[in-house]
Structure 1
Amino acid sequence: MQILFKNKAQADFFTTLYSRIRKYGAIPTGITQNVETLAAVEEGRKLLSNSEFMILLKQKPQDLAILKEIVNLTDKQIRYLARPKAKGTGLIVAGPVVVPFENPIPKNTKLYNLVATDA
């Protein structure tokens, strides 16, 4: 998603598209590795703050500061994202509810081989 917020025209288009999709009852879905890039523009901040559902994994310090402000995460929740116990550990944000989760995938499985990115 961060690529779509690099200039004003793209950000406006994507924000409008997201709103239209929601208007018709669909569920727009976006993935980003860099919250800071999205939050650097007003449209991106609005998109993040209006997102009712998020799955958050390990984050860098600058992204954690932004998420703490926008999503209203507690210091304990921030620590959970800063120093997760293992890969597959994070927070699920569903409206005002924030739930920690652990979902490691055993290394000796086909699923691990399909989704692992740490070559």
Structure 2
Amino acid sequence: MKKRKRSSDWQHGTPFEKSMWHDETSWGENANMRLIQAKRASEVLSVSLARLYELARLGIIPVVRLGPRQIRFDEDALTEWAKHGGLTTEGNGAVQLTELTRGRSGFASAD
């Protein structure tokens, strides 16, 4: 009989899997980050959830990845980003205008 994986194993992963996503010694100055979920982050920025996820996907707003499909937002980083006018973040701040004006199909419209 095959051993069934406990749900707690699935949620928390093995020690190896945990080390892939964050190293407790690497937090350093970010140890006091206040992580918030998407609903609260959309309220902070006054945008819809869909727009928030689009901004995160494009790398426009700062996000914290907890795993391959799970992200959180640092409330202080979001407010700083907004105070500085948005659209540029450390690292990959160069965003083409067409990336911001995509239609539902994912492609920029050819108007």
Larger radius of gyration: 2
Q: TM-score, normalised by structure 1?
A: 0.25
Q: Between the two structures, name the one with larger relative contact order (CA 8 Å, sep ≥ 6).
A: 2
Q: TM-score, normalised by structure 2?
A: 0.26
More strand by share: 1
